[in-house]
Structure 1
Amino acid sequence: MSPTRIPDATLRTERLFSASPQQVFAAFEQADQLARWWGPKDFSNSFERFEFRPGGRWIFVMHSPNGADYPNESVFREIEPEARIVIEHVAKPWYRLTVTLSARGEQTQLVWAQAFESPEVAAKMRGLAEPANEQNLDRLQALLAAGGS
């Protein structure tokens, strides 16, 4: 489950979920589900705007367990139901997150590729982003195991 190191601007990790691509996609598509698992361990979210469509905006605040708030703004660039979601994080630090879903029998292979503006920015973000991305997927896995309820 550890991230694959790529010597360019992209941080990448993969995870096999015991859920269908439809179930995994719904966890992104449905704001109430996404708010429950997005972000590192013990973070919570307040969504101001969530327009899950190509060109739609996603504005929210991540709340850390120590009380700090982190405003975020993203744009959904591509959405292919049950297959691919591309999210451009337009606030600093800029990145483009491509999530690819592939059916593997009764399971779903998720590939999470977070492309930063340069290898240098990716290197600076690696220590924070890699563990945070793994925690994000841990939270998604727990939501899916609970039936998304």
Structure 2
Amino acid sequence: MTNARIARAAPDAAANRFATLTFEREVAAPPSALWAAWTAPAARAVWAAPTPSVTVEFLEAETKVGGREISLCKVAGEPDIRCEVGWLALEPERCSVNHEVISSGGNTQSVALVTAEFSGSNERSRLRVTVQLCSLGTDMEQGYRQGFGGGLDNLAGVAERTMILRRTIAAPRTRVWAAWANPEALPQWWGPDGFTCRTSRIDLRSGGDWVFDMIGPDGTVFPNHHRYLEVIPEQRIAYGLLWGENGPKHADAWIAFEDDGDATALTLGMVFSSSEEFRSASDMGAVELGHQTLAKLDRFVTGR
């Protein structure tokens, strides 16, 4: 995991090369939110850095069995640290297993097997992470303790302000994707029941954005700005939600597209920027409004 801070390799590093570390967290969020925060690339990017002095840059991320994640951990004045993760097992809301290799300057610092176990109810979750570590550099065990400790504290906070919506649409993924990624189609169905869109500009690509107004049934105008961070055709979209053009960001969001037989399973996730933003959205009925939006997409795609 990218949030382990690594020391330089030492030829005689040795005595305690192997270690098994265990981390546990109680989280005030349902297992679905905790699982999404742990696995979704857009959410992992929010909590990965263990401290404000660390910046994590994701170069590649594909959370599926056989997929990999590559990131760089950056600290001012120090060499970049590369983390390569390979996903070995993913049992939603139950367990994940991945291996990771940490390197710096082309030298491997450590390898580890990371097992995460999830349990809980509708309101609370428990996470247990076991790291089987082989150190090739110095101070690796302490670095992992500090890095995972800070990262999992961040993860708990992210999960507690994460909202997850799911819907299965009886249409192939190519058709569902086309409704989401077509600049002429998206404004036709986006928004809850009774709302319409008025677009100022729309550029649905990585690095593009969508500036638009949501107009409520009573004519109230709600300015919006989506900044697209990642667009991978027929797989996922990650974007920031801003209050009006270049306004303050109130959430990091993503939509994932998966085959479900002949249908398409959608997951829409949002990590709100603060607990206050999450409570405000919840009080305004964001879950129900989001489900209405996905239902409109369903009707748009299927004609039903």
> TM-score, structure 2 length as denominator?
0.45
* Equivalent position of 2:71 in the other structure: none
Say which of 273, 284, 290 aligns to 1:133: 290
Question: Alpha-carbon deviation of 1:67?
Answer: 0.8
Report the aligned-residue RMSD: 1.7
Identity of aligned residues (%): 26
Quick check: which one's helix share is greater?
1
The answer on whether the counterparts of 1:20 and 1:108 sit within 8 Å (CA) in structure 2 is yes
| Distance (whole Å) between structure 2 residues aligned to residue 63 and residue 87 of structure 1 | 21
- Tell me the distance in 1 between the aligned counterparts of 2:189 and 2:234: 18
CA offsets per residue over residues 24-63 of structure 1, 9 Å max, x none? 1111111221111111101111111101111102100111
Aligned runs of 1:56-67 on 2, under 5 Å?
Answer: 56-67=208-219
2:300 equivalent among 135, 143, 147: 143
8 Å contact from structure 2 (residues 241, 252) kept in 1 = yes
Aligned counterpart for 2:185 among listed residues 33, 53, 58: 33
Distance in 1, Cα, partners of 2:290 & 2:231: 20
Name the aligned partner's letter for residue 220 of structure 2.
A
- Counterpart in the other structure of 1:110: 266
Q: 1:81 offset after TM fit, Å?
A: 0.4
Task: Quote the Cα distance in structure 1 between the aligned partners of 2:267 and 2:162.
Answer: 12
Instruction: After TM superposition, give the deviation of residue 97 of structure 1 in Å.
Output: 1.3
Instruction: Give me the whole-angstrom Cα distance separating, in 1, the residues matched to 2:289 and 2:249.
Output: 14
Question: How far does the alpha carbon of each residue in 1:67-86 deviate from its partner, in whole angstroms, 9 at most, with x for none?
Answer: 11111111111111001011
Question: What TM-score, normalized to structure 1?
Answer: 0.89
2:187/2:199 contact within 8 Å kept: yes
Q: Which has the higher contact order (CA 8 A, sep 6+)?
A: 1
Matches within 5 A, 1:84-103: 84-91=236-243, 92=248, 94-103=250-259
Write the letter of the residue equivalent to 1:78: E
Single out whichever of 91-100 and 22-31 deviates more from structure 2: 91-100
> Aligned-pair distance for 1:93?
5.7
C-alpha contact 1:8 1:118 (8 A) present in aligned 2: no
Contact 1:25 1:82 (8 Å CA) reproduced: yes
d(CA) in 2 for partners of 1:118, 1:102? 29
Whichever residue aligns with residue 291 of structure 2, its letter is E
Letter in 2 for 1:27: A
Q: Would the aligned equivalents of 1:95 and 1:117 in 2 still touch at CA under 8 Å?
A: yes
Q: Which residue of structure 2 aligns with residue 77 of structure 1?
A: 229
Partner Cα distance (2:215, 2:275) in 1: 28
- Structure whose alpha-carbon radius of gyration is higher: 2
Figure out how many residues of one structure are paired with residues of the other and give that number: 144
